[in-house]
Structure 1
Amino acid sequence: MAAAAQTVLPSVSGSRLLRRFVLWLLVLVCCLGLALLVWRWTENAAIDKLRLAGAQRLDSYAVSLENLLSKYDFLPGTLELNKDVIALLQQPDDELLRAEVNAHLEQLNKLSKSTTIYIVNLQGLTQASSNWREPDSFVGDNVAFRPYVRDALRRTPGGFYGVGTTRGEPGYFFAHGIYHNGRMLGVATVKVNIEKLEKGWVQGTDKVMLTDAHGVVFLSSVPDWKYHALAPLEPAVLQELEVSRQYFSHALLPLGLRELRQLDNGASIVATPAPAERTRMLSQTRSLSPRKWQFVYLSDLAPAEASARNAFLFTWLSEALLVMLVLYARQRRRLGRQRQRARLDLQRAYDHLETMVAERTASLQQMTHNLSEENVVRRHAEQKLRQAQSDLVQAGKMAVLGQMSAGITHELNQPLTALRTMSDNARVLIERGRLDEAKGNLATISQLIARMGALTGQLRQFARKADASLKPVPVAAAITAALFLVERRVEQERVNFRMSMQSQDVHALCDSNRLEQVLVNLFTNALDAMDGCETRQLTVSVTRSFQKAMIAVSDTGPGIPEAIRNHLFEPFFTTKPQGQGLGLGLAISEQIIREFGGMLLVESTTAGGARFIIELPIAEPETT
């Protein structure tokens, strides 16, 4: 029956642990899923807000552009009302008449604040211009290749944005036919500079572009983006632009915007072009009819992404706080039940106090009259005492491990991070067929796993309970194992470690696990004593004197005063600040060494600092 209970209980315990693990895993997955949903919802809400603001800005920019262009739309048509203009087109060789028309166009250009006004005959030759005084005057130029001139000659009012072939100045061209008695005599053209609109566009992280029907950017809040195409242009389009010389000498290279995700209503998430740092932005467009232009507004998504991250972290922390509150409430209920049981037990003990006293008295009388039973009780008490001493030693070891937890965590986190990176790289390399490089990654992963196994194995060996048997232990191996547990702290605090041994085959009669605990305690105390010292040196020396193995641990700290030295091995005596030690480390260490038949001594060094000396009986190494 007892054997059956022993086989059933571990199974029940394992099943309970499995259910608890699955429950916590489900809680973790649900919390993470909720945090991700909050992330996505916050990001979408921020993007919707950006889209609304971007649409309002696009409407504003479109209205401003239309208002500017509408101011000059009528101007070319008014020139056919001027008799001198009609006369010049009918008498192109009259230079005096040409001078009068030039002066009129110059005055009209100043009043309207346009860029240039000029008159073209039916052959596309410029007869008069407002810039007739300039060295690069348009007078005499042939502009028949320009689309706006061709449209006007076909009796269709022309509108065209392009870069001037004479001065290289960009502008918008209005063209209107000049008629007399129903017959076309020429074309009136007004050039207007619309680049001044760029000054009113945003200058922060958001960006604005205005493109033509082919996707060529001709106005932008980013000067380097002008005269670039949103997408590579077809050869036929490039040929058409070359013939019309719309952008003159500009190469019209692709801008390099990369679409990352398509949204509804024509919006999308894009990445800005190099060489600047690529930034994720929200792209919105607004078409301008009938010119076939398109405004493109790019809103920086960094604030939206920051809001989403903050919402994710806040949700995650809130969920963690809620879980902690649930655990706290559960623990309180458990403690309440325990207190209730304790009160019931106390009441029951009080109710039966007289019976218990009588039973105890009878037991004592029986023990008094029976020496053998007294010896059994005494041996039982001694066993309990040894067990308590062993538990105290184990508690000291666990306290040391707790103090070293930060360094141990760092030692494990570095290989874990490297394992994740190398395994991801190995998967990519295998997919690409680069097997030799993948083998190298796997070899590195194996080394990292071996390193982590060595660390956890050493910790497991240190944490296990030691038995009471004594056997020959190599002193050098025990020192190396103890140093391994504090090696991270020695490196972080830049402590110089020195070790000297007369012989490598010195063996002491003791228990290796408990000797390592004593050494770790001495190393830790030495490192604590040297905190803040300019010179930090930890020295371990091993000598052999008669039948004793002498292990000396020295530091360069402030030393130990005589008054403190007398109380150093007393339980609960400590010189560390409150909360940093219980004063049990040296007391436990001194007791362990005494059980080995040795001694733990302390003395001050002439150069400052303290030296702890472990004296252990010499033992001959075991032979196999």
Structure 2
Amino acid sequence: MLPVTAKIRRKMLLALLIAAGLFLTLRLTAWYHLHQGEKALAQESRQQLSQLISLLDGLLSRFETIPHVLSTNPTLASALLDQQNDQKRRELNLYLEELQHVTEASDIYLVDALGVAVAASNWKQSFSFIGQDYSFRPYFIEAISGRLGSYYAVGTSSDKRGFYFSYPIYDRGTILGAIVVKVDIADIEQQATGIAEAGQYEYLITDPDDIVFLSSRAEWRLSSLTPLTQSKRFALNASKRYANRAINELLIRPPYSRAGKEQTPQRYQIPTDGKRLYYMDTEQEMAKAGWRVHVLSPMKPLHDELPMLLLLAASCYGLLVVGLLLHNERKRSLARMQQARDQLEQRVRERTRDLEAANTKLKDTQDELIQAAKLTVIGSLSASINHELNQPLAAIRSYAQNTQTFLARDMRERAGDNIRIIVELTDRLAEIVGQFKSFTRKSQGTDTATDIGECIRQALTIVQPEIDKQGVELKLALPDQKLEVWGDKVRLQQVLVNLMSNAIVAMAQCPHKRLQLSAIVDEKLRIRIQDNGPGVRESQMQKIFEPYYTTNERQGLGLGLSISQRIIESMQGSIQVSNADTGGAVFDIILPLYRHEGSHAS
């Protein structure tokens, strides 16, 4: 036999620890599942017990006051005083029969001071109560003593289970007998069974002798929860509570014992359909009726869930053990992986630096392209700009010469007027030059809240000389309220100038040129630039925003619309192109409105 090495001993010890851990895991899982399940089941059982008792109290209370009300009828006292009068007894029998139908009681009958029934609602039946002696019944003894009586028993004549209410009949302070109302508890049992089936539990109701007289299961009825000793059988026979019914013991394990003041639920094994099933017994006293109500919640569903839960716990434990075993193996490979990761991260950092440098270069190139596109627009408008500047300059020269003449003639007031006009013309020149200087300056790419009306007007300042030169009719429609978008103001001006310049070029061959500029507000802001030129051919629709694509080879590099689209997309917007029904191209700039409630774009 080979000696047991240290490695084998370690493996055996590890296997032993794993087995012990599995055993402990299964024990704890079973305990926790049963503990929590029984706790929840007990809480639910207490609610069901409260509902069941409320139902029973409500059903019995319907009949509790009937004897007292009937006792006030003088006909009952008259019949007891004159029992030999057959006419009175017949009328009383008919009266009680009618009351029995109205109240839906099982039976109503009148007994004299000796406990003998003299009239009954079942006077026509073969088991009529008339002539029967009920002096041994506790409900008669309580009534003849001047109290409201109540009692459960099996009828000695009808052999039906019932609950009895009784009340004394007085005549001038003397008790002549008692009126008794019997309630058929089979109807009560049926209603309570329906509630129990809906709640998926069983119930039983016992008398003070622990005899089951109401139950959701027929096999449990008229069974004793406690052993039937000789003295107990003798007492039951003497009270005739159950008439001639046989009382058997319910084989309940462990032996039944009443719950204490804490009302802690008990667990019993009770024969059910030939099987011995476990139930949680939650019980409560109905002091008024003298009953003890038991709600028996089956524990089989709780136990049926346990194997699957144990299998799940064992699986989780197995996964945990496998994970721990793999963890040791993983630790050994982590060092190698870490070394490879460090090398990879170093390469990634180097590649990232290269990409960042390329992105910076690309951004600079893009800014240069945008600046070149702006200068291209300015170049195409240079003739109109010169015209716009030459007019004020010529006027300034003329007014300056006139001013010299006025000063030579000592016409100082006229000279002052000319100087004021020269100052105004100079301010106009400064405004025009300042606008062009702002437009041609490189944008810093700073996004701010931009007033769209002001932006459109500043863009028009740049394009206006070309509009005047080409004789274009300008139609401007802007909303009265202030509208703002979030973006770079200078770049948005560039887009507007570019689109308006393109529209003016497109209308070069039109006898009457018309440019419409409008701003429409719905969910977003829509800036529409529409001309009455030839429009955009269908074949050009998909390519018009591509870089270096142009329909005018003599002017531009084909970057204007591509750059404009990128600028608008950087502002979370879009540009759409279409042809108007009346002719001409329509460019729509769609931008989200900026609101001041805390977000930059709606």
The normalised TM-score by structure 1 is 0.50
Q: Distance in 2 between matches of 1:206 and 1:306?
A: 16
Aligned with 1:239: secondary structure? helix
Q: Distance in 1 between matches of 2:291 and 2:334?
A: 76
The alignment yields a C-alpha RMSD, in angstroms, of 2.6
Name whichever of 291-300 and 229-238 sits farther off: 229-238
User: Equivalent residues in 2 for 1:65-144 (5 A)?
Assistant: 65-144=56-135
Cα separation, partners in 2 of 1:301 and 1:260, compared to 1, 3 Å? farther
Counterpart of 1:24, as a letter, is A
Residue 203 of structure 1, aligned match among 192, 197, 208: 197
Aligned with 1:278: secondary structure? strand
Q: Distance in 1 between matches of 2:139 and 2:308?
A: 54
Q: Would the aligned equivalents of 2:263 and 2:284 in 1 still touch at CA under 8 Å?
A: no
Cα separation, partners in 2 of 1:274 and 1:192, compared to 1, 3 Å? closer
Q: Would the aligned equivalents of 1:285 and 1:297 in 2 still touch at CA under 8 Å?
A: yes
Cα separation, partners in 2 of 1:130 and 1:339, compared to 1, 3 Å? closer
Aligned with 1:162: secondary structure? strand
Cα separation, partners in 2 of 1:100 and 1:134, compared to 1, 3 Å? same
Which residue of structure 2 aligns with residue 402 of structure 1? none
Q: Would the aligned equivalents of 1:109 and 1:115 in 2 still touch at CA under 8 Å?
A: yes
C-alpha displacement at 1:230, in angstroms?
0.7
Q: Is 1:172 equivalent to 2:163 in the alignment? A: yes
Counterpart of 1:127, as a letter, is V
Q: Distance in 1 between matches of 2:326 and 2:35?
A: 36
Q: Is 1:62 equivalent to 2:53 in the alignment? A: yes
C-alpha displacement at 1:338, in angstroms?
9.8
Q: Distance in 1 between matches of 2:178 and 2:164?
A: 12
C-alpha displacement at 1:80, in angstroms?
2.4
C-alpha displacement at 1:16, in angstroms?
4.3
Which residue of structure 2 aligns with residue 287 of structure 1? 285
Counterpart of 1:47, as a letter, is E
Which residue of structure 2 aligns with residue 296 of structure 1? 294
1:255-288, Cα deviation, whole Å (9 max, x unpaired): 1111289997431221122661111221211211
C-alpha displacement at 1:239, in angstroms?
2.0
Q: Would the aligned equivalents of 1:259 and 1:268 in 2 still touch at CA under 8 Å?
A: no
Q: Is 1:212 equivalent to 2:207 in the alignment? A: yes
Cα separation, partners in 2 of 1:136 and 1:339, compared to 1, 3 Å? closer
Which residue of structure 2 aligns with residue 266 of structure 1? 264
Cα separation, partners in 2 of 1:166 and 1:269, compared to 1, 3 Å? same
Name whichever of 115-124 and 254-263 sits farther off: 254-263
Q: Is 1:251 equivalent to 2:249 in the alignment? A: no
1:45-96, Cα deviation, whole Å (9 max, x unpaired): 1111211221111111111111111111111112222122111111111111
Cα separation, partners in 2 of 1:170 and 1:178, compared to 1, 3 Å? same
Q: Distance in 1 between matches of 2:164 and 2:117?
A: 14
Q: Distance in 1 between matches of 2:256 and 2:236?
A: 31
Q: Would the aligned equivalents of 2:282 and 2:294 in 1 still touch at CA under 8 Å?
A: yes
Aligned with 2:178: secondary structure? strand
Cα separation, partners in 2 of 1:50 and 1:152, compared to 1, 3 Å? same
Residue 305 of structure 1, aligned match among 303, 308, 332: 303
C-alpha displacement at 1:336, in angstroms?
7.3
Q: Would the aligned equivalents of 1:162 and 1:246 in 2 still touch at CA under 8 Å?
A: yes
Which residue of structure 2 aligns with residue 276 of structure 1? 274
Q: Distance in 1 between matches of 2:254 and 2:131?
A: 47
Which residue of structure 1 aligns with residue 316 of structure 2? 318
Aligned residues: 331
Q: Distance in 2 between matches of 1:227 and 1:246?
A: 11
Counterpart of 1:48, as a letter, is K
Name whichever of 140-149 and 251-260 sits farther off: 251-260
Q: Distance in 1 between matches of 2:91 and 2:37?
A: 61
C-alpha displacement at 1:154, in angstroms?
2.2
Which residue of structure 2 aligns with residue 558 of structure 1? none
User: Please, which runs of 5 or more residues in structure 2 have no aligned partner?
Assistant: 339-602
Cα separation, partners in 2 of 1:44 and 1:339, compared to 1, 3 Å? closer
Percent of pairs with identical residues: 26
Which residue of structure 2 aligns with residue 434 of structure 1? none
Greater C-alpha radius of gyration? 2
Aligned with 2:223: secondary structure? coil
Q: Distance in 2 between matches of 1:132 and 1:261?
A: 43
Q: Distance in 2 between matches of 1:336 and 1:67?
A: 73
Which residue of structure 1 aligns with residue 221 of structure 2? 226
Cα separation, partners in 2 of 1:211 and 1:166, compared to 1, 3 Å? same
Residue 13 of structure 2, aligned match among 22, 26, 32: 22
Aligned with 1:236: secondary structure? helix
Q: Distance in 2 between matches of 1:261 and 1:293?
A: 16
Which residue of structure 2 aligns with residue 31 of structure 1? 22
Q: Would the aligned equivalents of 1:258 and 1:273 in 2 still touch at CA under 8 Å?
A: no
1:282-318, Cα deviation, whole Å (9 max, x unpaired): 1211211133311111111122113333222211111
User: Please, which runs of 5 or more residues in structure 1 have no aligned partner?
Assistant: 1-9, 341-624
Aligned with 1:71: secondary structure? helix
Cα separation, partners in 2 of 1:261 and 1:303, compared to 1, 3 Å? farther
